[in-house]
Structure 1
C-alpha cells in the first residue's frame, strides 16, 4: 500500500482523513515521521497555511506530503473566525472556548449563514497542488450533539436537519468540507 504523510498532529483530523481515505493509501502522521514540533501557521489565508505546513515537512524531513487548513467563515462576523478558527479564543486551540466566543458574538444575529472551507496542499514530485472543499450552512444558537470536534456542535450544514455533531462519521464525511477536499485529492492521486 502506498504511503503518504499528512502534515498534522491533530488526532481528530488524522482519524477523519484515515476514515475518508480507507485502504487507498496508508496515511502517516507527523509523529510517525518523528516530527513533534508545532509547525507555524502564519499565513493570512487557508491555502497559505496549508502550503507552509507541507513545505516545512518537505524541507525538514524530506517527505512528499499533504497538509490542510480549515476555517469557519461566518457572514455576520465579516468572515471571522476564518483563518483564525482554531485560535479564535486564544492560542490554546480550545474548542469549547472557541464555540462559546462564537455564540457570544452571534447573540441576537439574524443572519446566521456560515461556511466551512478546507484547503489541502499537496507537495508531490516537486510540484504543489491545492484542493478546496466547502460546505454551506448556518450557526445554531446552541450546541447540538456530541460527536465530531471543533465547531461541529454549532454548525448545521444546509444538506442536513442536524449539526455535524449529531451525524455519524460517515454521514459527516460524505458532505463535509474536509471530505470534499479529500475526495479531490484522492481523485488526483488515483490518476497518477
Structure 2
C-alpha cells in the first residue's frame, strides 16, 4: 500500500516513513496545497482539509495539523503554530515566555487518513515544557524549545526516540491501532 503524505514539510514525511515501514506501507511526499480553515480546533482543520482534498479526487492520503499549545499563553500558538514559527520563530516564543514561571505546554497532532474512501481521524498529545533557550540541531519547528522530559529538547534526541514519545508518534500509534481494528493492515 502507498499513502500520499500531503505536506510541505519533508520532516513529517521522514517521521511517517519511519513509523510505517514495518507495515509495508510506503509513504510518498505529496506537497499538494489546500486551504486550511481558520479555527482554533485541530480536528476541524483536518476534517475540512480532507473534505477539500477528497473533492479534488485525491485518495489514499495522510494529512495532519499539529500545534504547540503553551499553557501560560492560553494555548497560543496552537493551530497557528506554522504561522507563528514563520513570523516570530523560536526566539519569539522564548521572548513571550520571559519571566513566566508556568512553562507547561503540549504538542498536539491530529492526523486524518483516507484509505479506500474510509476516513480515520486521531489526535496524539505530548506534554512537556518550554525551555529557557534553543537547544539541539535536529527536528524542525519548535523542537529546539520543547522538552518532553525536562532535560532534552526534541531537537536533541534521535528520531526513533522522538517518534516513541512525540505528539505525532502518539497519533501514529492511534492511527495504526485504528487501521488494524478496521482490517486495513
TM over 0.5: yes
Distance in 2 (CA, whole Å) between partners of 1:143 and 1:26 is 33
Moved over 3 A (4+): 124-127
Residues 99-132 of structure 1 show CA distances to partners (whole Å, capped at 9, x for unaligned) of: 1111111111010000000011123344432211
Matched with 2:4 is 5
Matched with 1:155 is 146
Secondary structure of the residue aligned to 1:88 is helix
Distance 1:164 1:136, change over 3 A: same
Secondary structure of the residue aligned to 1:61 is coil
Give the TM-score normalised by the residue count of structure 2.
0.89
Unpaired stretches in structure 1, ≥5 consecutive residues? none
Residues 121-155 of structure 1 show CA distances to partners (whole Å, capped at 9, x for unaligned) of: 12334443221110110000101111111000100
Unpaired stretches in structure 2, ≥5 consecutive residues? none
- 1:44-123 alignment, distance < 5 Å: 44=39, 45-88=41-84, 93=86, 97-123=88-114
Distance in 1 (CA, whole Å) between partners of 2:180 and 2:119 is 16
Let me know the Cα RMSD of the aligned residues. Answer: 1.7
Secondary structure of the residue aligned to 2:177 is helix
Contact 1:139 1:156 in 2 (8 A): yes
Matched with 1:28 is 28
Give the TM-score normalised by the residue count of structure 1.
0.86
- Equivalent residues, number: 180
Distance in 2 (CA, whole Å) between partners of 1:104 and 1:127 is 43
Distance in 1 (CA, whole Å) between partners of 2:123 and 2:102 is 25
Residues 44-71 of structure 1 show CA distances to partners (whole Å, capped at 9, x for unaligned) of: 1111222233222222133132211001
